[in-house]
Amino acid sequence: MTYHYWTVRFVPDVSRGEFTNVGVVVGRDGGDWAVRLDQRFVRNHGDLSSDLRELASWSRHFERQVNGLASPRLDGRAPSTFGQMEHWRRRQANAVQLGEPMPVLTASAAEGVRLLYPVLVERVTSGRRGTYDRRSLRSRVQKFLVQDQGFVRGRDLFASADFTVGRQHGTFDLVRTSDRGPRITNVWAFNVLSLSALERDLQSWSYLVGRLRREGARTELTDGGYEALDRDVPIDVVVDVPVRGAGSGDRRRDIFEAAREAWTENGVAEHTVESFEDGLREPRALQRG
């Protein structure tokens, strides 16, 4: 089936005409639409910050606009969505611009994005900088949730949230709340110097999560306010996996594998920081119903 795609371009200096693709939109008139944006690793960011966080609000707004193209008109007629995209393209003449529409054969808009994104947008980097400690990993995840996903600390994102299981107390790195209920995220860095402290913290946390899975828990999100955590509350861990050459290789790997075993038993989903971010960025195509 023939769809069209538009590249989303960041133009740091309009007068020079240089640009970097930061996204791709795929859709067809009266059909489904999908979009994926990624502002990371743009080398020439002009006067903006290196991660282009100033564009985060625009990105969320643009994604909502594109997803809304699949909604039927009140009179029941198919919307002229191609014309709407072209209208946006002609008006978008500042630091973010849309490329000319190009045809692509694909089964769906989402499939088109999956096909085109690695070719047109994904940037090859020279490799990740070193490894993380737990504080820097937690900071990156929190920064992503706030700047890229639109969470607000103290409203629907809570850091270092205390929780209670029976008479036992612990802390979750991050708790997100929504209409679907809370979701827990903890980070673990395995390339640290103190393996004894890492092993102790993991064992303590896994014990408490095991009890949560059997008994449920409650967490304090605001001063004096508590929220119940059901036994099946979604829990993610974002990990910086052990790398070769970090020292104490066998013991470090053993601690990591023991942690993975406990996560599996307790229904905890494991992610690298890259897969965690990519999973939340997956294009959401709305089918015209």
Per-residue model confidence as pLDDT tens digits over 175-207: 999 888 899 999 999 998 889 999 999 999 999
- For residue range 86-144, what is the model confidence (pLDDT) as tens digits? 888 888 777 888 999 999 989 899 999 988 988 888 775 544 456 788 999 999 999 89
- Same-domain check for residues 103 and 194: no
Q: Is the pLDDT of residue 165 over 90?
A: yes
**Averaged pLDDT score across all residues of the chain:** 84
Average pLDDT in the 7-31 region? Answer: 84
- Same-domain check for residues 138 and 273: yes
Q: What are the CA-CA distances from residue 161 to residues 211, 213, 236, 237 (Å)? A: 17, 18, 15, 15
Average pLDDT in the 247-272 region? Answer: 90
Is 289 a domain residue? no
**Single residue among 105, 126, 147 that ends a domain in this structure:** 126
The pLDDT value recorded for residue 187 is 97
What is the C-alpha to C-alpha distance for residues 252 and 244, in angstroms, rounded to an integer? Answer: 10
- Same-domain check for residues 104 and 176: no
**Single residue among 126, 154, 172 that ends a domain in this structure:** 126
Residue 173: give its domain's CATH number. Answer: 3.40.1350
Domain that includes residue 238, residue range: 134-279
What is the C-alpha to C-alpha distance for residues 5 and 100, in angstroms, rounded to an integer? Answer: 8
- Same-domain check for residues 206 and 83: no
The pLDDT value recorded for residue 126 is 44
Average pLDDT in the 30-53 region? Answer: 77
Task: Name the amino acid, one letter, at 155.
Answer: R
Joined together, the tokens standing for residue 84 give 């709407």
- Same-domain check for residues 107 and 45: yes
The pLDDT value recorded for residue 79 is 55
Q: Are strands 269-272 and 217-222 parallel, antiparallel or unpaired?
A: unpaired
Is 195 a domain residue? yes
Average pLDDT in the 60-68 region? Answer: 85
- Same-domain check for residues 107 and 140: no
**Single residue among 126, 145, 171 that ends a domain in this structure:** 126
